[in-house]
Structure 1
Amino acid sequence: MWIEARVPQDGTRIDVGGTRLHVLDRGEGPIIVLIHGLMGQMRNFAPELIDALSKDHRVILVDRPGSGYSDPLPAGANGIASQADLIASLIEQMELEKPTVVGHSLGGAVAISLALDHPNSVGSLALIAPATRPRSEANSTFGPLAIEPAPLRRAISLTFGTPFGLAIFERSAAALFAPEPLPADFATAGGGLLSLRPENYIAGSNDIKSLRDALADLPTRYGQLEMPVGVLFGSDDQVVDKNWNGIWLKSQLANATYAEIEGGHMIPFSSPQLVADWIAAVANRAHSKTAN
């Protein structure tokens, strides 16, 4: 497909318990694992961010199951907790000792689930614009993913989903970056085009429901998080509410820090150096505590 030609694989596909995950392994040093958000893939973390982090750290990027170039999990076993379980298995298989786990947006919920269900696999959490608790109103940015029933979503994705998605791509992507401008290279350098593939649309639709289900339970368990937690938001994020999700989470955790930088929701791509510096600070703080 022409989309794959424009956005090829960056890493290798590793078999983890029968599911192939697309993984990129860069650098040496304290380990950082990065988990992208809804309808995304590893390129949502800008190349400049990865270059900066990998100077002093070993950086592991993974496409979540069903996203990018990773296989989907079986229907009925593809929720947030199941994705976290699979990434925990990857961490064990790669012998990654107590990494800092970075989660962006929906990836933040996966990272939190990973830390709660597999605390020995996580040294610290670095959460960027994380979705942390449910809201009654739906976010219009991802409205097309919530079409019911599921067979209709699948039919749409396999027929005119890609051409329709291509027609509205710039508008949809711009909504993710607002109020910042949409970077001209996001479609390719940021992996944005991969969201137009039918299989990625189906995975995104499943993720919307899975996130809703997960956030009905996860907040009741946040008190169990004992590792250091850093939370970062763009000051004008228009996708995930910083007060509802970020500042609130900080208030629930004695071991959490909260910070903001200028920008919107996609700061891992739009502000790579600032975000890399923040991730490195979270990782280095946790590594220093472990060393002592």
Structure 2
Amino acid sequence: MSTTETVLLIALAGLVILILGNIAFQMAAERKNPPIGIFIECDGVRLHYIDCGDAGAPCVVLFHGNGTMIQDLILSGLVDRLAHNFRVICFDRPGFGYSDRPRTRIWTATTQASLFAKALDQLGVRNPVVLGHSWGTLVAIALALRSGYAVSGLMLVSGYYFPTSRMDLWFMSGPALPLFGDLMRYTLSPIISWAIMPN
């Protein structure tokens, strides 16, 4: 066996070990932290969400930002406070928490808004107040601008409102690319996330 073949075999073995290790880590993490909400199948996407408060009251829909999930909005106390007077629906956006992110689509804010409009229709939600946090503001704005779905109010918290040329754009866009993103998901992304979590 040549040196090149040996190096390739070692690299392939290392890749397989990383993938299997990350799958095992994911399964252990999901056992320790089971879903806190319920699921809805919409447009071929399995969405995880919570629905609390008075079902007959006006509805508030919450969208989290990147790198977070439903639990961040719950931990802030916002969900409990709103649930005293409103019906509150909070989704894990596609690819976050327990919501699926099929790789056959590019998940722009507009694409996500279209998906959530259909999901909210399935849940019988009409004219909600929509809150978006961080990158979720773009989803909230896109939902409010849809001609086929009306919202009664819009709250935008610490959001992105205008295109900017930020240095982290290219670094953070890699995981969204088909194939490359899948490879990152099962190899380096969990290790990088684990390493930077304390910061």
Q: TM-score, normalised by structure 2?
A: 0.76
Q: Which residue of 2 aligns with 1:88?
A: 117
> Relative contact order: is structure 1 or structure 2 higher (C-alpha 8 Å, sep ≥ 6)?
1
The offset of 1:77, in angstroms, is 4.2
Q: Which residue of 1 aligns with 2:28?
A: 2
**Take 1:109 and 1:40, find their aligned partners in 2: how far apart are those partners?**
15
The offset of 1:144, in angstroms, is 4.3
The offset of 1:152, in angstroms, is 4.3
Q: Which residue of 1 aligns with 2:21?
A: none
The offset of 1:39, in angstroms, is 2.1
- The SS at the match of 2:198 is helix
Q: Given residue 97 of structure 1, which amino acid in structure 2 is its aligned partner?
A: R
In percent, how many aligned pairs have the same letter? 33
Structure 2: segments with no counterpart, 5+ residues: 1-26
Q: Which residue of 1 aligns with 2:184?
A: 156
- The SS at the match of 1:66 is coil
Q: Which residue of 2 aligns with 1:31?
A: 59
Q: Which residue of 2 aligns with 1:145?
A: 172
- How has the CA–CA distance of structure 1 residues 112 and 27 changed in structure 2, closer, same or farther, with 3 Å as cutoff? same
**Take 1:148 and 1:17, find their aligned partners in 2: how far apart are those partners?**
22
Q: Report whether the alignment pairs 1:13 with 2:12.
A: no
The offset of 1:109, in angstroms, is 0.2
**Take 1:160 and 1:106, find their aligned partners in 2: how far apart are those partners?**
23
- Contact kept, 8 Å, 1:66 with 1:72, in 2: the verdict is yes
Alpha-carbon RMSD across the aligned residues, in angstroms, is: 2.2
**Take 1:33 and 1:12, find their aligned partners in 2: how far apart are those partners?**
15
Find 2:157's aligned residue among 112, 125, 128: 128
Deviation sequence 1:97-138 (CA, Å, 0-9, x none): 210001001100000001111464311101111111011232
- Contact kept, 8 Å, 1:109 with 1:132, in 2: the verdict is yes
Equivalent positions of 1:235-274 (< 5 A) are: none
- How has the CA–CA distance of structure 1 residues 96 and 137 changed in structure 2, closer, same or farther, with 3 Å as cutoff? same
**Take 1:10 and 1:128, find their aligned partners in 2: how far apart are those partners?**
24
The offset of 1:153, in angstroms, is 4.5
Q: Which residue of 1 aligns with 2:20?
A: none
Structure 1: segments with no counterpart, 5+ residues: 172-292
- Contact kept, 8 Å, 2:175 with 2:184, in 1: the verdict is no
**Take 1:148 and 1:106, find their aligned partners in 2: how far apart are those partners?**
16
**Larger Cα-atom Rg:** 2
**Take 1:90 and 1:118, find their aligned partners in 2: how far apart are those partners?**
16
Q: May I ask how many residue pairs the two structures share in their alignment?
A: 169
Q: Which residue of 2 aligns with 1:59?
A: 88
Q: Which residue of 1 aligns with 2:196?
A: 168
Q: Given residue 58 of structure 1, which amino acid in structure 2 is its aligned partner?
A: R
**Take 1:112 and 1:53, find their aligned partners in 2: how far apart are those partners?**
21
- Contact kept, 8 Å, 1:88 with 1:121, in 2: the verdict is no
